[in-house]
Amino acid sequence: MSYIIGPECIDELDRSCIEVCPVDCIYIGDRKSYINGTECIDCGACEVECPVSAIVVDRVAKKNPLLKEFMQDSIDFFEQPLPGRSDALGNPGGAGDLGDLGVDTKFVADYAS
């Protein structure tokens, strides 16, 4: 089980979820945040803190076609090179040292909210 961040986060970036994440697994792109499913410990602290209800558990996302796209996009954010980068982000072990990445996947960059 893991959590994903859906379309409600696009252009919102409230960061309340980041403040409560005990393992620093929420990374900031340009238009939205992304949860690293490998680093996430499934505590759920982020889900209840999100003011726009953008964070959902993956078993819920799997039942919703739009959220399934965001689930795949979250995987792509970490496993595929982001625009302007030659290597995939992977599992850096925490977002804090990286700071805001300032880039999204093409899916989110092009997403019309």
Q: What residue ranges define each of the domains in the chain, with the CATH number in brackets?
A: 3-97 (3.30.70.20)
Q: Are 24 and 92 in contact (CB under 8 A)?
A: no
CA dihedral sign of residues 98, 33, 92, 94: positive
**For the chain, percent helix, then strand, then coil, each to nearest 5?**
30, 10, 55
Q: Model confidence over 82-101: pLDDT tens digits?
A: 999 999 999 999 999 999 99
C-alpha 36: how far from chain center:
7
pTM to 2 decimal places: 0.94
Rounded to whole angstroms, the Cα distance separating 47 from 51 reads: 9
In the predicted structure, residue 1 carries a pLDDT above the cut 70: no
pLDDT of residue 89: 96
Q: Model confidence over 38-53: pLDDT tens digits?
A: 999 999 999 999 999 9
Band the pLDDT of 61: cuts 50, 70, 90.
Answer: confident
Q: Are 103 and 85 in contact (CB under 8 A)?
A: yes
Rounded to whole angstroms, the Cα distance separating 59 from 64 reads: 9
